[in-house]
A and B are shown apart, each in its own frame.
Chain A
Amino acid sequence: MAESDHLLDLQHLKTYFYTFEGVARAVDDVSFFLDPGEVLGIVGESGCGKSVTAQSIMRLIPQPPGKIVEGRILFDGRDLVRLSMGEMRGIRGNRIAMIFQEPMTSLNPVYTIGNQISEMFRLHMGLGRREGLNRAVEMLKKVQIPAPEKRVGEYPHQLSGGMRQRAMIAMALACDPEILIADEPTTALDVTVQAQILDLMLKLKEDFDTAIMMITHDLGVIAEIARRVVVMYAGRIVEEAETVPLFEDPKHPYTQGLLRSIPKLGRRGAGERTRLVEIKGIVPGLLDLPEGCRFSPRCPQVMGICRKKDPPLGRIGPGRTVRCWLYFDEPGKD
């Protein structure tokens, strides 16, 4: 039996993809935890490994080419990495559920919404068809879909984008999971609909007491709903902190750059605008990662050691870790 004080505990997870061009280290030594009922934000740009981390937890990594090569994912005393696919099916959707960015492609177009939600009850709770459908109507009501009795018999294409995302959430929460992993759940939605969905997620979190892992590139969404944040860059965690300290006093040059580079609503005022601070260069490809710190080629505060040695992810305060040589002494640092 594996020990952990947390609801979910990732320890040194490494998920690699073996391609003809080489090994893509999509998730490279990632550790973090999730406690019951909390909202953890995982933020990063495309290719930083945030979605692959989520897929690893759900054991949805296509193999080959992907493989979890190292690490443990502890959940309820078990290491998810070691479970058989059969055992995993008892957890996936039932105790850990996931919603995706594009609700149209994650719902099955040839089954009704009701059918897809009631499948959760039939599979995981052994309910009958009719009972399952009744429960599906209840779920649609909880996610505030108008006229749920009618919607339950409709197909995904008959629903708007926001309604589809609500249906996805209904399906994910059907079995009252302990963890909900949301992978860019509002990115494809318009901002007024995004506000509806975020509002709904926070409300349901209270009602269902579900821990939420919110994966997004949008720092605004993180600031609105997360209590704690993990910042990822090129397959690595570069910083971890509670939300308020992270936004007020970001430590890692990448986090600092991200926060400075976004225009902030209502802040321009009437005067001349100040030039946006940009992060120079481009996000490195996972196949040719730079030596040393992966952010070093773009870092405005780069030092000699950064290009040679990978910095450790070290603790700099309660609940705060950062992966940067600025905060650690290393013999040979200049």
Chain B
Amino acid sequence: MDPLLAVENLKVHFPIKKGVLSKTVGYVYAVDGVSFVLQRGQTLGIVGESGCGKTTAGLGILKLVPVTSGTIRYDGKDVTDADGRRLRALRREMQIIFQDPYSSLNPRMTVNQIINDPMQVHGVFAGSERQDRIAYLLERVGLSPEQGRRYPHEFSGGQRQRIGIARALALNPSIIIGDEPVSALDVSIQAQIINLLIELQKDFHLSYIIIAHDLAVVEYICDHVAVMYLGRIVERAAHGPIYTAPKHPYTQALLSAVPVPDPKTKRDRIILKGDVPSPINPPAGCRFHPRCPYRMEICDKKEPQLQDLGGGHEVSCFLYG
């Protein structure tokens, strides 16, 4: 069986325009050759720091930003150039929840209208069936149907995120992309939303792509994890090995940098030097080489490719092989 979603060599480059004639003077290489597959019922996590391209990759899959090159296959069919009706059909299958529950809900619409909106746009579920579905969805995300008549500002951050989830579920999609779905929430609320997402995955047969910078959250939710750095995937594996035996020096540094809520674990922390370089001029060779503690001669000359170290644990680094 084909994987539900297969992304191959996805590139999203944004032109930088300058001057009165808007001449293109360069590109932001936001996503620069990213490949992964999402299996049915599974959760893929994409982690990385700001500017690594994780959000743009998600938007590219949904075709909310123009894709420069690469292919996106949904259920075995190439949907990279889908437009018009095919794109609408595709969007019924793929929904997104956003980071900021404050700005992603229209303040002038009631919750009922917000959840109704996608069903109206796509012309699914009519009349009383639609009303029933709204009530059902509200209940499923932990709100009461009576709250549907209220406006977003009457809800707390966690409740708004629940509304966003109900909206994403309205069309009965097969994939939900969560772009930092819990990072704007208070600690005590995060667990509620994470538990909710996991419950819904089973009940609605969903596959998730979770984009996040919080490595602990991604470990908890995801089956597979891809680590991105400057527009590229540097390491990819099942959730276990990536946390217990990270291979790429960047993944190692990233994991060691996370403050652990246990004052007794004293770890050898790898402190990286400098900042993430700009995706406008990514470094030549391996993009991580200027900050890499193990850099070798070859690293600034050739770009490493992802290679399988066994068991589907892939890493893009010259230290291996």
Contacts and interface: CB of A to CB of B under 8 A. Distances in A.
Given A223-B262, A257-B188, A268 B239 contact: yes
Interface stretch (A84-92, A191-199, A300-308): A191-199
Nearest to B217: A263
B191 A278 contact: yes
Contact of A194 (B215, B219, B259, B263): B259
Nearest to A226: B263
B49 interface: yes
B253 interface: yes
B309 interface: no
B158 A219 contact: no
A282 B213 contact: no
Contact of B215 (A45, A265, A298): A265
Interface size class on chain B is 35 or more
Contacts of B16: none
B124 interface: no
B40 to A, nearest CB: 19
Given A244-B264, A282-B156, A283-B156, A268 B243 contact: yes
Interface string A236-270: 00000001100110000000011101111110111
Contact of A243 (B220, B263, B269): B263
A191 B216 contact: no
Contact of B216 (A198, A264, A269): A264
A258 B188 contact: yes
B190 interface: yes
Interface in B181-204: 186-192, 194-195, 198
A269 B244 CA distance: 8
B49 A218 contact: no
Contact of B272 (A160, A192, A263): A192
B188 A195 contact: no
Contacts of B107: none
A195 B257 contact: yes
Contacts of A280: 192
Interface string A192-211: 11111011000000000000
Contacts of A270: 240
A264 B256 CA distance: 13
Contact of A278 (B50, B195, B240, B254): B195
Nearest to A242: B263
Contacts of B82: none
B260 A279 contact: no
B219 A268 contact: yes
A244 B265 CA distance: 11
A275 B215 CA distance: 17
A265 B255 contact: yes
B65 interface: no
Nearest to A282: B156
B258 interface: yes
Range for the number of chain A residues in contact with chain B: 35 or more
A215 B106 CA distance: 33
A99 interface: no
A262 B191 contact: yes
A65 interface: no
A266 B219 contact: yes
A266 B243 contact: yes
Contacts of B198: 273, 275
A221 B259 CA distance: 5
A273 B186 contact: no
B216 A219 contact: no
B110 interface: no
B259 A224 contact: yes
Nearest to B50: A190
A46 interface: yes
A269 B220 CA distance: 10
Interface string A139-182: 00000000000000000000011110000000000000000000
Given A163-B275, A195-B269, A268-B220, A259 B159 contact: no
A220 B49 contact: no
A266 B260 CA distance: 10
B269 A220 contact: no
- A-B pairs with lowest CB-CB distance, top 6: A220-B259, A263-B220, A195-B257, A261-B191, A190-B49, A219-B261
24 contacts: A46-B186, A191-B215, A191-B254, A192-B257, A193-B49, A196-B271, A218-B259, A223-B259, A223-B263, A224-B263, A247-B261, A248-B264, A261-B190, A263-B216, A265-B255, A265-B258, A268-B219, A273-B198, A275-B195, A276-B195, A276-B220, A282-B156, A282-B189, A283-B189
